[in-house]
Amino acid sequence: MASSSIASIQKSFTYDVFLSFRGEDTRTNFIDHLYEALQQQGIYTYKDDEAIRKGKRISDELISSIKDSKFYIIVFSKNYASSAWCLDELVMIMGCHKTTEHTAYPIFYDVEPTEVRKQSGAVGKAFVKHENDEAAGKWKEALKETADLAGWELKNTANGHEAKLIQKVIEEISLQLRSIDFNADEKLIGMETRVKDAVSSLEIGTDDVRVIGIKGMGGVGKTTLARVVFDQISFQFEAKSFVENVRENSNTSLCGLKSLQNQVLKDVLFDQGNVNSVHDGKIMMKKMRNKKTLLVLDDVDHIDQLEALAGDLNWFKPGSRIIITTRDEQVLVAHRVKLILDVNLLSEEEAICLFSRYAFGGEIPIQGYEDLSEQVVRYAAGLPLTIKVLGSFLCGKNESEWIDALERLKTIPLKETLQKLELSYISLEEDYKEIFLNVACLLKRWSKPVVIEALESCGFHATNGLKVLEQKSLITITRKPFEFVHMHDHIEEMGRNIVRRLHPDKPQKHSRLYIQFQLMGGNFEMVMKGLRKMKELRFLHISRNTRYNFAEERKYANVSQYFPNALQYLCCKEYPFKSLPPTFQANNLVALKMAQSEIVQLWEGGERKVLNKLKSLDLGHSKLTTLDLELSPNLETLSLSGCRDLVQLHMLNGCRQLKSIDLSYSKLTTLDLGSSPNLEVLSLNGCYDLVQLHMLNGCRKLKAIDLSESKLKTIDLRPAVNLELLHLKGCNALVKLCLPNGCLKLISVNLSGSKLKTIDLHSCVNLKLLDLEDCNALVELHMPGRCLNLRSLTLTNSQLRNVDIGWTPNLEDLDLNNSYDLEDLHMADKCLKLTSLNISHSKLKTLDLGLTPNLKKLDLKECKNLVQLHVPIGCLENLVYLNLRGCLGFTSFMVDKRNVASSRRDESLEIGPSAESHLIAKSLERCPLHPDNTLRQFQFECFYIDDPSVTRNLEKLISEGLCACTNLETLSESIFGLRCLRMLKLEGYPEAPKDLDRVECLEELSFSRTNMKHLPDSICMLKHLEILQLKDCWSLEKLPEDLGRLEYLETLYLSNAKIEHLPDSICMLKHLRTLTLFRCCSLKTLPKDLGKLEHLAWLNLSSLIIKHLPDTICMLKYLECLRLDDCKLLEKLPEDLDQLERLEQLDLGECKILQDIPIGICKMKCLKWLNVAGTSISRLPHDICFLKGMRISGSRDLLQSCGFTSEIQTFEHTCFVDV
């Protein structure tokens, strides 16, 4: 693959955004706010200064700024087109916009797109003075082109809110800046052409299975290229898998290839099973032939790896694509890969750009460093990794430091990449150097927490050190799904080379050693004897990568005597000896990890040694029988999990620093924690012989305790006031449990299988999970009155007669199965999140589900005493399963979920997914939801898609969507329990509903032809309500005084009501856009602060008996329509009516006594229709004839008096003229 040219480098701009605007219109308001918002978001924006606008044509400075801006925001205002400067600016902008590098966005501030496009209206008036200008043609074309672009119109965006419009602009520009191809990412310099070539080679549209290889030297960008291609095209495939570091992971152990096969199967097939062998893995890989798959195998170095992961093209569905990266071309040839792409080094131009990004933060060297930069780039020879490291190292250095670094390169030639990378190491402080070398030699690919533990055991400040190394580009830390420390191969080699050079002839001086049995050729004795001379060794990690046979090595009885006494960190998994040798003093040991070892006792002959510095001890799954911790006073973590021979542990008062103890599956019979004031975690899970546990009052920090499957009869946890997790599952002998007086932090309790008769959890108010399964001796349970966080409660197979779970609003799962003695269950009135309820085989007689709209499963089988079930309709909203089998007083039927949506067009009741009911046993003679139909009936609209015939004998309930048996009392209990209801229309409803606030998600509410005298105050709690309609409510006399609390109300419609006044709070409805008070004939006055309805666009006051309007009405700057027709007592209009500059319609028809119209109406340039028919107005202002595009309706005499004669038209007895 040829190296991409410099043209592939993403152009950078001086400015992100250039603002074009007319200063006198918008500079001090909208533009200032927009500019400030852009700057705050880090979007570098050009806004010109008034001082530079001199002359008739734009300056060179502005031309340069336009060319150096990525995005243009053109703010069209009324006077924009009056400025030749602005128009020239626009021509230049549109010229740049036509290239692929620039994008323009128009904002129509106080003009419409059509006005800009056609130079009409305000824009036309502003442009008229340029009609004879020689540049008028290109200006018009630029205006037309810009008006056709996607942008924003203030009045139609965010309800005219300037702040919201600015936010939308910010979001769009920010999104575009992030999505620019290869958005100045230093890793992607020179990648554009390579990516295009790779994607082109894949020919994704064809149906064959295609394999391409990507080869090149280490650090050249093979993985980066594969990752970019993968991210760019993966959405076109049914499955995808990116397998990183194949060479490294497959060579780690014989299980390496199996683990990689598992990864591919999991990614592609979501298969969680384990591959038993590579051969079995190959067979399982054939399952992928049913999915069009994108597979990337990164850093392959052996044909076996390809045969295991992509051995046969028949494994893959046609259309699949496989990408293989490798340093060895022969691997691809042997696998018969036909298309191989070379990833070459960067060109000089690309290398300069990449280097400059790291060294200077730009794309070219700063002045004075051009020659030095070229020398560095020549030395790096186009290797991206080397360029990146050198750029980071030299960033911020002065010229003399650059020269010195380059001179050093000349005097100490570095022939290999690893040597070139050492400059970054040189800049580190001494302790960071040591951390780096430890990572390079030992800790690469370890999880970050383990790396930190290992480094801290050697006295390093690990967290800060790793951060420094990451910033220096010496390591990377993956963060998903877990944090692991990684290092590039060449950097790792460089680090190890440094260690080798430190003491080339004196290996005994080395402080760290990593031994891999696989590399030792079985000569364990020789290697271990070699440790004798390494007096300064501090870090020793012995790893077994094969099933190495230690049986032969055990004959060397003294082989382990060679552990150096300076060791601080010792890890030797599967250590083959029964104890540590007496010659190993271990005075400096901080961490000892010998899991799965043969150790029976820590020290040979039962010797007791002081280990003052030991903090972490892991002998898990060893053959340890006894352990004395009295002489390890600073131990913090103890893991003896799986030590099945452990029968005795001495700790008493010597372990005051212990934070975590894991003794799971040991043979301990007693445990005395002594004084352990810092203990936080105690795990004794599976200690089947444990019969005694002693805790002193010092264990106050204990957070988690697991004593599952133990034989403890009594447990006293009163000192553990900070307990969060308590797991005592399977403690079949447990008869007494003492908890702290206040368990405010306890969130998870599992006491399943215990023999407790009484459980008192009244103070556990923060419980999330409570499992009391199979507590068959339980007769008394005390729950908190309020348990707001409880999610799951299991109480199966108990002897409880009464259960009161208190106030549990977040409960999701309640299981009382096989509670044969249960007679009484008290649940909260509202369990809005409850999805599953099982009370089968109980003695309940009645059950009231309360408000449970998300209930999916209800199991009441074999509740033979159950005679009454209260099920609000809201419960059926999401119901999937209902079992009443064996409930002799009930009809048993199953409920299967159906997707049913109501029609907003029909203004129907929207209840979401419904239920299709199938009758199984005897037929129903009455509606099960409304058995007592005694009150006055009414009907509500409720449309379903279901065929009514499928409901058989339940047709009374939902036949054709009409529940004819619903009465007023049950309405509040059922329909108003539908929490997710969005729309409700009630017609002929006789009186006010009581519980409207329960329908908390309601967005539209409509009453028509009702006899209500007032709306209930509860309506003001509907915080999501957007539309409120009260049509023909003849008896309605009053609206709630707190109506203004409906902060999102957009439409308020009242007609034919007896309301005499509106509540003052109505003026607080800042989102109200439409207000209709049609034929409210008792309404004499309007609120004086009506002008505070700042977003009101439509005001209908037809047929009112008002005499005048409040003066504040002139403050409604967004009002487009004002209807005052048939206001027969209206005497005058406000003098400042012309302030309604956006008013398009003014209807004064049949205002019989209205005689005058304000002269300022001639200034209302947006006015499109004026109706004065049927008024006493005798003349109109003379200048009204200049309001072009307006229609005036009125008497013929009136129109003629204004000079309109031939223009008068007639339609249905109404005269009008189009101005």
| pLDDT band at residue 641 under the 50/70/90 scheme | very high
Q: What pLDDT is stored for residue 766 in this prediction?
A: 94
Q: Are 897 and 875 in contact (CB under 8 A)?
A: no
Q: Which residues contact 869 (CB under 8 A, 6 or more apart)?
A: 846, 847, 849, 860, 890, 928
Nearest of 741, 785, 754, 752 to residue 767 by alpha carbon? 785
Inform me whether the pLDDT recorded for 293 exceeds 60.
Answer: yes
Distance from C-alpha of 1219 to C-alpha of 435, rounded to nearest angstrom:
85
Q: What pLDDT is stored for residue 931 in this prediction?
A: 46
Q: pLDDT tens across 326-363, in order?
A: 877 788 888 999 998 988 778 888 889 888 988 888 88
Q: What is the mean pLDDT of residues 540-569?
A: 63
Q: Which residues contact 99 (CB under 8 A, 6 or more apart)?
A: none
Query: What is the pTM (predicted TM-score) of this model?
Result: 0.47
Nearest of 785, 786, 792 to residue 768 by alpha carbon? 792
Count how many residues are written for the chain: 1219
Inform me whether the pLDDT recorded for 663 exceeds 50.
Answer: yes
Q: What pLDDT is stored for residue 902 in this prediction?
A: 30
Helix (H) or strand (E) holding 986: strand 983-987
Q: What pLDDT is stored for residue 906 in this prediction?
A: 26
Cα 545 off chain centre by = 40
SS3 for 1162-1206 is HHCCCCCEEECCCCCCCCCCHHHHHCCCCEEEECHHHHHHCCCCC
| pLDDT band at residue 856 under the 50/70/90 scheme | confident
Inform me whether the pLDDT recorded for 527 exceeds 70.
Answer: no
Inform me whether the pLDDT recorded for 252 exceeds 90.
Answer: no
Positive or negative, the CA dihedral 219, 220, 222, 228 is: positive
Q: What pLDDT is stored for residue 920 in this prediction?
A: 25
Q: Mean pLDDT check: name the lowest of 288-292, 429-433, 886-890.
A: 886-890
Q: Are 680 and 701 in contact (CB under 8 A)?
A: yes
Q: What share of the chain is helix, strand, coil (3-state, %, to 5)?
A: 30, 20, 50
Distance from C-alpha of 389 to C-alpha of 384, rounded to nearest angstrom:
9
Cα 958 off chain centre by = 40
Q: Are 637 and 615 in contact (CB under 8 A)?
A: yes
Looking up tokens 């001199």 gives: 54
Single out the catalytic residue among 50, 89, 823, 1004.
89
| pLDDT band at residue 404 under the 50/70/90 scheme | confident
Inform me whether the pLDDT recorded for 944 exceeds 50.
Answer: no
| Angle 847-853-855 from CA coordinates, rounded to 5° | 65
Q: What pLDDT is stored for residue 914 in this prediction?
A: 28
| pLDDT band at residue 1055 under the 50/70/90 scheme | very high
Q: pLDDT tens across 499-523, in order?
A: 877 766 666 666 666 665 544 444 5
Q: What pLDDT is stored for residue 810 in this prediction?
A: 93
Q: Are 1162 and 1184 in contact (CB under 8 A)?
A: yes
Q: Mean pLDDT check: name the lowest of 56-70, 119-133, 564-578, 1077-1091.
A: 56-70
Instruction: Note if 89 is an active site residue.
Output: yes
Tokens of 867: 């005679």
Distance from C-alpha of 1194 to C-alpha of 1196, rounded to nearest angstrom:
7
Q: What pLDDT is stored for residue 170 in this prediction?
A: 86
Looking up tokens 């967004």 gives: 1118
Q: pLDDT tens across 800-849, in order?
A: 999 999 899 999 999 999 999 999 999 888 888 999 999 999 999 888 88
Inform me whether the pLDDT recorded for 683 exceeds 50.
Answer: yes
Q: What is the mean pLDDT of residues 621-642?
A: 92
Distance from C-alpha of 1048 to C-alpha of 1195, rounded to nearest angstrom:
42
Q: Are 1149 and 1171 in contact (CB under 8 A)?
A: yes
Q: Mean pLDDT check: name the lowest of 372-386, 429-443, 617-631, 916-930.
A: 916-930
Helix runs in 896-986, H state only: 955-958, 968-973
Cis bond upstream, residue 872 (ω within 30): no
Distance from C-alpha of 711 to C-alpha of 434, rounded to nearest angstrom:
50
Q: What pLDDT is stored for residue 594 in this prediction?
A: 92
Distance from C-alpha of 629 to C-alpha of 650, rounded to nearest angstrom:
6
**23-27-28-29 Cα dihedral, nearest 10 degrees:** 130
Q: What pLDDT is stored for residue 554 in this prediction?
A: 53
Q: What pLDDT is stored for residue 245 in this prediction?
A: 87
| Angle 873-876-878 from CA coordinates, rounded to 5° | 140
Query: Mean pLDDT of all residues in the chain?
Result: 81
DSSP, residue by residue, 774-843:
T-TT--EEE--SB-TT--EEE-TT---SEEE--B-TT--EEE-TT-TT--EEE--SB-TT--EEE-TT--
Nearest of 506, 402, 489, 494 to residue 445 by alpha carbon? 489
Higher pLDDT, 153 or 277: 153
Q: What pLDDT is stored for residue 525 in this prediction?
A: 64
Using N-to-C axis directions, what is the helix angle for 136-147 and 84-97, rounded to 10°? 60
Q: pLDDT tens across 705-757, in order?
A: 999 999 999 999 988 889 999 999 999 999 999 998 888 899 999 999 999 99
| Angle 178-182-184 from CA coordinates, rounded to 5° | 80
Higher pLDDT, 1186 or 1191: 1191
Strands 914-919 and 893-898: antiparallel
Q: What pLDDT is stored for residue 872 in this prediction?
A: 64
What is the share, in percent, of the chain residues with pLDDT greater than 90? Answer: 35
Q: Output the CA–CA distances (angstroms, integers) from residue 627 to 480, 582, 639, 1110, in the order listed.
A: 38, 16, 12, 91
Q: Are 515 and 540 in contact (CB under 8 A)?
A: yes
Q: What is the mean pLDDT of residues 410-429?
A: 62
Inform me whether the pLDDT recorded for 420 exceeds 90.
Answer: no
At 413, which amino acid appears? P
Q: What pLDDT is stored for residue 272 in this prediction?
A: 64
Helix (H) or strand (E) holding 450: helix 448-457
Q: Are 1184 and 1163 in contact (CB under 8 A)?
A: no
Local structure of 572: helix, strand or coil: strand
Higher pLDDT, 1207 or 1176: 1176
DSSP symbol at 3: P
Q: pLDDT tens across 141-195, in order?
A: 999 999 999 899 998 887 788 998 998 898 788 767 754 544 445 457 778 788 8
Q: pLDDT tens across 60-100, in order?
A: 888 889 999 999 999 999 999 999 889 999 999 999 998 76
At 174, which amino acid appears? S
Q: What pLDDT is stored for residue 506 in this prediction?
A: 64
| pLDDT band at residue 935 under the 50/70/90 scheme | very low
SS3 for 784-801 is CCECCCCCEEECCCCCCC
Q: pLDDT tens across 1119-1175, in order?
A: 999 999 999 999 999 998 989 989 999 999 999 999 999 988 888 888 999 999 999
Q: What pLDDT is stored for residue 662 in this prediction?
A: 95
Inform me whether the pLDDT recorded for 1089 exceeds 70.
Answer: yes
Q: What pLDDT is stored for residue 478 in this prediction?
A: 81
CA count, 13 A, side-chain hemisphere, 749: 24
